Amino acid sequence: MDYKLVFAALETVCEDNIAIWCGDSDLPCGSVAKRLVTCLRQIQEHSRALEPIVSIFTAVYHNYDFDAQTPGNGYRTLVKVLQSCLLHIINKGRYIASSYNSAFFRAEHNASELEAYCHALCQLRALLYLAQKLINNNDYGHLYSLQGGDISRRFVQEYSSMHKACFYGRCLGFQFSPALRPFLQTVVISMISYGETYGKQTSGLGMAALSLLTSGKYIMDPELRGAEFERITQNLDLQFWKTFWNLTESGLITGFNRIVSNPVQVNFTLTVPPRTLRLPLASDLSLSATVSPPVAHWGPGPVHMRLISYDLREGQDSNELLTFSRTDPPPITASSLPWVQKQPRSPWLIIHFHGGGFVSQTSKSHENYLRNWSKELSAPVLSVDYSLSPEAPFPRALEECFYAYCWALNNCHLLGSTAERVCLAGDSAGGNLCITVSMKAISTGIRVPDGIMAAYPAILLTTDVSPSRLLTLIDPLLPLGVLTKCLNAYAGAESQPGPPAVASSSLSALGRDTAVLLSDLTQGASNWIQSYLDPMRTSGGARSQSSQKRSQSNETQNTSSHTSNPNCEGQFNYPQGFEPLRSECLAFIRPTSSPVIRNPFVSPLLAPNNLLRGLPPVHIVASALDALLDDSVVFAKKLRDMGQPVSLTVVEDLPHGFLSLSQFSKETEVAAEICVAQMKEIFEHGKPACSPNKCPKLEETFQSPSPSG
């Protein structure tokens, strides 16, 4: 949509409403009218200042795309997000103008909604100014400056002091496809309720029950929800995120996944003991390379993985494979599936590394789409349960994934595949591991996979700023405070590494302690009732209540924050006397300065060409609204410029992690199908015998297959 039309429509809507609320002195709701008029004037002011910036962005943003058929980069995204915020305001304004004198018109509610979007608009204006600084600062056409240094540090500081709560209350997920918003709301409310009870309880069931009780007030009060979410994302420790994200491992959610995704005949875990492997060298099959088992941090240890296969295939019920299974009785026996016709081995094999920020999740939480892949591609899927950070920082996960890859090549006959073609697939952190495992295969001299499908991968694990990364301010799934915690954990800056302990998540405690549950329930109920009886509790009271709580919880950290906190120095000077809204609680974002994050096996975007040359075709499926979008665009360009086969597909309107949400909307389902199509491409089409540079005809084969909309 032409942005000029949007700005013009907004101007008209504001004028119409101002005329209504200023002019009609008979309107019953005087104070609300005042609020609305103030808010509409602010919206007009923001919008008038934003129009010229948007025109600058639209004039240059195509220079940052991967190619003309693949429009997508952080600058485009910022304009798109802004446009979506403006459209929400226009719709709200039109609704108010047309129904303000209806008997059912809720003036208070509508004023609060408009105010929330006005706050969001103000913060987006700040993001656009920051992005404009990036355009001016970076080399022309470059999304990152990649010099590390001052600008990124100052961006992180600025980010830390900015108000973010408006993006998690009434406006939550406004940028995403409408079908996903109820789900995101549920996730955010569950997260906050869980965050409030986190640390108070020891009983998993008690925690779950209490969370359920406290969720009521967050459903009723979006402002409180936003403020609490901001507090949680900035201040709760990594253990909280690990525990919350691992909810996807819970029986309820995996049970749901199993119902909505395809049933499969083979689905069990394997534990491969640490033994040295020998693999033929790619350059001379008569010679071999030695691959040691993973050793980093605590010495040799086994590697866990899960085999998923839609059909039972030869080898998968062999005694040899079942010796790697720890389940008793064995997961598959010939007699347990007498009606199943065993299929021959598939020529294809998918090796999968899951996402979860390197700190959470397992193959089990990603089963929903893996089952579909196995069916749709007629291939077994081997998903690796690598050790997680902070207990197992880099390079443990990489070593385990590489070892699993090598073991799978040697033992493909047991996995139900002849491994004529092997595809590495992964999402997010798993996308990173696909690339780095392939780099390891190249440097070891063994067979590289036949292709990589990386969905919204994390390719640059430094805090270098890019326009898409500014979205961490508004993203409910990947806020900056949480991303940096994952990054620090993987870089080994979070805590002392050690071998994986027995799972201590609250869920593992489920059912352990019903006596505690009773007291939890009573306490939860009384807290909840108390919050409603509190005489101070008005709409503004809720804010002060939450900020009171915030200041309590930050007491220790915040005492010195206004004097010695580095967040206070070096703030940006915005044009036209503009100031973004500031947060009441400063974020304590301390990205690690460890050199590990610049290691090419951590941040493959920084890898020298000789480590990337020889990578198989890389198919990246990214989302336009993902904070990590620019990683994908820049990496795809780098590979293309080196003459490596690469494709980039940018899907619209979806959050990071869309594969995990594939059953929640049509759009996520379509995006998941694109990932399947890319793997099909890897399996069905021959690998180019030479790189596209030397072999011009093939270049076309690896151009972006489907342009984003």
Ligand X SMILES: CCCCCCCC/C=C\CCCCCCCC(=O)O[C@H]1CC[C@@]2(C)C(=CC[C@H]3[C@@H]4CC[C@H]([C@H](C)CCCC(C)C)[C@@]4(C)CC[C@@H]32)C1
Give residues in contact with ligand X (CB under 6 A): 155-156, 159, 186-187, 190, 244-245, 247-248, 253, 355-358, 428-429, 458, 461, 463, 465, 469-470, 472, 477, 480, 483, 486-487, 656-657, 660
Q: Report the candidate in 365, 264, 364 with the shortest Cα–Cα distance to residue 313.
A: 264
Please, which residue, 306 or 469, has the CB nearer to ligand X? 469
Rounded CA-CA distance 697/701 in Å is 8
> 369 CB contacts (<8 Å, ≥6 apart)?
261, 659, 660, 662, 672
- Least separation, in Å, of the C-beta of 504 and ligand X? 17
Q: Provide the minimum distance between the beta carbon of 65 and ligand X in the complex, in angstroms, as a whole number.
A: 21
DSSP character at residue 165? G
Least CB distance from residue 670 to ligand X, whole Å? 18
433 Cβ contact partners less than 8 Å away, ≥ 6 residues apart:
353, 386, 397, 398, 401, 426
Distance CA 260, CA 368 (A): 8
Distance (Å, whole) CA 65 – CA 143 = 10
Return the closest-CA partner of residue 708 out of 604, 629, 599, 634.
629
Rounded to whole angstroms, the Cα distance separating 235 from 590 reads 12
Q: For 381, list phi and psi in degrees, rounded to 5.
A: -120, 125
Q: Which of 215, 346, 389, 428 is catalytic?
A: 428
Please say which residue, 215 or 411, places its beta carbon nearer to ligand X: 215
Pick 404 or 480: Cβ nearer ligand X: 480
The nearer residue to ligand X, 92 or 142, going by C-beta atoms, is 142
Q: 116 vs 465, which CB is nearer to ligand X?
A: 465
d(CA 634, CA 645): 14
Tell me the C-alpha distance between 630 and 181, whole Å. Answer: 24
**Residue 52 preceded by cis peptide, ω within 30:** no
- In angstroms, give the least distance from the CB of 631 to ligand X: 8
Of residues 90 and 187, the one with the C-beta less far from ligand X? 187
**661: which 2 tokens?**
């949400």
Apex 317 CA angle, 316 and 322, nearest 5: 95
- 256: tokens are 């749901």
DSSP-assigned states of every residue in 399-421: HHHHHHHHHHHHTHHHHTEEEEE
Residue 295, SS3?
Answer: coil
Q: Residue 653: which region, alpha, beta or left (left: phi > 0; alpha: psi -120 to 50)? A: left
To the nearest whole angstrom, how small is the minimum distance from the Cβ of residue 656 to ligand X?
A: 5
Of the candidates 579, 598, 567, 596, the residue with the CA atom closest to the CA atom of residue 156: 567
b/e code 550-562 from CB counts within 10 Å (16+ = b): beeebeeebeebe
Q: Least distance from C-beta 354 to ligand X, angstroms?
A: 9
Residue 371, SS3 per DSSP:
helix
Q: Kindly state the smallest distance separating residue 159's Cβ from ligand X, in Å.
A: 4
With beta carbons less than 8 A apart as the criterion, state whether 428 and 357 touch.
yes
- Helices (H), ranges, 511-628: 514-533, 539-553, 555-558, 561-564, 609-612
Q: Which is nearer to ligand X, 558 or 662 (CB)?
A: 662
The residue whose Cβ lies closest to ligand X is 657
- Torsion angle defined by CA atoms of residues 144, 145, 151 and 153, in that order, rounded to the nearest 10 degrees: 70
Residue closer to ligand X (CB basis): 293 or 426: 426
- Which strands, in side-by-side order, build the sheet including 303-309? 266-272, 303-309, 381-385, 346-353, 417-427, 451-455, 618-623, 646-651
Tokens of 100: 């303000």
Judge whether 363 and 401 are in contact, CB under 8 Å: no
Helix orientation angle between 30-60 and 107-137, rounded to the nearest 10 degrees: 30
Nearer to ligand X, 428 or 649 (CB): 428
Contact call for residues 416 and 440 (beta carbons, < 8 A): no
Active site residue 428: yes
Nearer to ligand X by Cβ, of 397 and 648: the residue is 397
User: What is the smallest separation between the CB atom of 358 and ligand X, expressed in angstroms?
Assistant: 6
> Which CB atom, from 595 or from 696, has the smaller least distance to ligand X?
595
Alpha-carbon gap, residue 399 to 394, rounded angstroms: 9
- Provide the minimum distance between the beta carbon of 490 and ligand X in the complex, in angstroms, as a whole number: 7
Nearer to ligand X, 423 or 659 (CB): 659
What is the DSSP secondary-structure string of 595-636? GGGGSTTT-GGG--HHHHTT---EEEEEETT-TTHHHHHHHH
Q: Which two tokens stand for residue 43?
A: 């919206």
Q: What is the Cα–Cα distance from 232 to 226, expressed in whole angstroms?
A: 10
Active site residue ranges: 428
